[in-house]
Amino acid sequence: MSSQPFYGSDYDALAAFDPDIAGVLLSELARIRGGLQLIASENLSSPAVLTALGSTLSNKYAEGYPGRRYYGGCSEVDKAENIAIERAKALFGADHANVQPHSGASANQAVYGAFLKPGETILAMSLPHGGHLTHGTKVSFSGKWFNAVHYGVDKETEDIDYAQVEALAKEHRPKVILAGGSAIPRLIDFEFFRRVADEIGAIFWVDAAHFIGLVAGGAIPSPVPHADVVSFTTHKVLRGPRSGAIVCKAEHATAIDKAVFPMMQGGPQMHTVAAKAVNFKECATPEYAAYAKQVIANARTLATSLAEHGIRPTTGGTDTHLSLHDLQGVGVTGKDAEARADAAGIVLNKNAIPFDPAPPSIASGIRVGTPCVTTQGMGTAEMVKIAELMATAITKGDADPDHEVSRKVRAEVTDLVTRYPAYPRP
């Protein structure tokens, strides 16, 4: 008899009832185990996190906040949310935490709701230069409902054009200045943004979705002391459940809470809130701090090694968990590189590079990250090998998995993931 205090993790029962979906759960696990996962925004969350996600807390409606719910029966989920809030505040040294956002986009929506009225102005990084869809692109609510002004990177350094940030801030006097994005390999100068925001009386918001895990592990400087509000996802380097969260200064606590619920969301997903609590506890350990440092060491080595194969990292390298590579020197598009790598068992994504001559659906670059392979225990020696395999697949390979090069690289990938398995069997 199992001592597990919950129900929901009975794979055999699921397989007996619904072999179609049970089969997908197994084949996805096999896919993860069978290849190298280099997508910079993904990670392999722990069995403890997955256990909380697969629990009966999923059933509970709990609109409101702990002690102030619109449903009965919230005594137990209140405990989970209070624990998650306290752990988030302690982990990030924040005055206030809201752990209810369903995702990074939901968290960002709430920040807009807290600080901006439709038509008001935000200054943010442009998507083609490394920003994010929710940072004011025309196809997103953020660009449809708000007046977004965008800064980019400097053509020479390929890092944030800080002079442009300051000039645009003074010209447009945005209500909110946003730093952060999805393809920024370098550290962001939060003190600079704070100063500019103060000079024009703007709110300073950091979307830390990509790098918050490195902050949690003490591997890079934190935006929390500088920013009015920091939104993030919990499933990237942080390695928690697929979700979002917000931390902010005490003076913004009420505005943020009201913007998450009832302005943008209904009932929180309490199983995910519990899983976030588990994750925040994991992130407070010395093991996690060592992991965060290794993620960066691995990313640096991967970027440098790819450069040695002619696959140029923008900005010359990385300070974080990801690097962005320009493939123009090897004459391959991002789209073809993604397909060729995939055929060889290496999962990554094509990505626009700054000033990209190709459309985003083709792209001239790839983005790679080390959160997953570092979780699997790989170190810098393995990164050198991965760079060699990537270079072979991208420059000599083919999108056909049966191509000789695809097969050859895949065999070496199999060797690596056999030595460093994802979700190792007990």
Task: Write out the catalytic residue numbers.
Answer: 61, 63, 207, 233, 236, 242
Strand order in the sheet with 147-151: 96-98, 244-248, 229-233, 203-207, 176-179, 121-125, 147-151
* Cβ distance to ligand DSN smaller for residue 106 or 374: 106
Q: What six digits make up the tokens of 144?
A: 């449809």
CA-to-CA separations, 42 to 54, 152, 276, 319, in angstroms, rounded? 19, 25, 16, 18
Residue closer to ligand DSN (CB basis): 182 or 269: 182
Structure tokens at 331: 């004459």
55 vs 370, beta carbon nearer ligand DSN: 370
Shortest distance (Å) from residue 201 CB to ligand DSN: 29
> Between residues 132 and 350, which has the closer beta carbon with respect to ligand DSN?
132
Q: What is the DSSP letter of 426?
A: -
For residues 349-383, one letter each, b for 16 or more C-beta atoms within 10 angstroms of the residue's C-beta and e for the rest, the string is bbbbbbebebeeeebbbbbbbbbbbbbbebeeebb
Q: Which of residues 17-56 bind ligand DSN (CB under 6 A)?
A: 41
Interface characters, 81-120, with ligand DSN (x: CB under 6 A): ----------------------------------------
Q: Cβ of 157: how many Cβ atoms within 10 Å?
A: 13
User: Which residue in the set 106, 142, 182, 269 belongs to the binding site for ligand DSN (CB under 6 A)?
Assistant: 182
Separation between Cα atoms, residue 29 and residue 48, nearest integer Å: 16
Q: Please say which residue, 45 or 182, places its beta carbon nearer to ligand DSN.
A: 182
Residue type, 315: T
The CB-of-321 to ligand DSN minimum distance in angstroms stands at 11
Q: How far is the CB of 378 from ligand DSN (least distance, A)?
A: 21
Taking the complex as a whole, the smallest distance from the CB of residue 196 to ligand DSN amounts, in Å, to 25
Q: Verify binding: residue 137, ligand DSN, rule CB under 6 A.
A: no
Q: Which of 206, 241, 203, 54 minimizes the C-alpha distance to 135?
A: 206
Task: Write the DSSP assignment of 18-74 as a string of letters.
Answer: -HHHHHHHHHHHHHHHHSEE--TT-----HHHHHHHTSGGGG----EETTEESSS--
Contact flags string 117-136 toward ligand DSN, x per CB under 6 A: ---------------x----
Restricted to residues 205-234, the positions that interact with ligand DSN (CB under 6 A) are 209
Q: How far apart are CA 319 and CA 307, in angstroms?
A: 15
What's the rounded Cα separation, in Å, for the pair 355 and 287?
A: 39
What is the residue whose two structure tokens read 């998995």? 401
Residues between 326 and 385 that touch ligand DSN (CB under 6 A)? none
Q: How far is the CB of 382 from ligand DSN (least distance, A)?
A: 23
Q: Which is nearer to ligand DSN, 116 or 368 (CB)?
A: 368
When the beta carbons of 182 and 231 are compared against ligand DSN, the nearer one is 182
Q: Of 44, 302, 283, 313, nearest to 184 (Cα)?
A: 313
Q: Phi-psi bin for 221: left (phi > 0), alpha (psi -120 to 50), beta?
A: beta
Task: Find the shortest distance in angstroms from Cβ 156 to ligand DSN.
Answer: 25
* Number of chain residues interacting with ligand DSN (CB under 6 A): 4
Displacement of CA 153 from its chain's centroid (Å): 21
Write down the least CB distance from residue 111 to ligand DSN, Å. Answer: 15
Which residues in this chain contact ligand DSN in the complex, by CB under 6 A? 41, 132, 182, 209
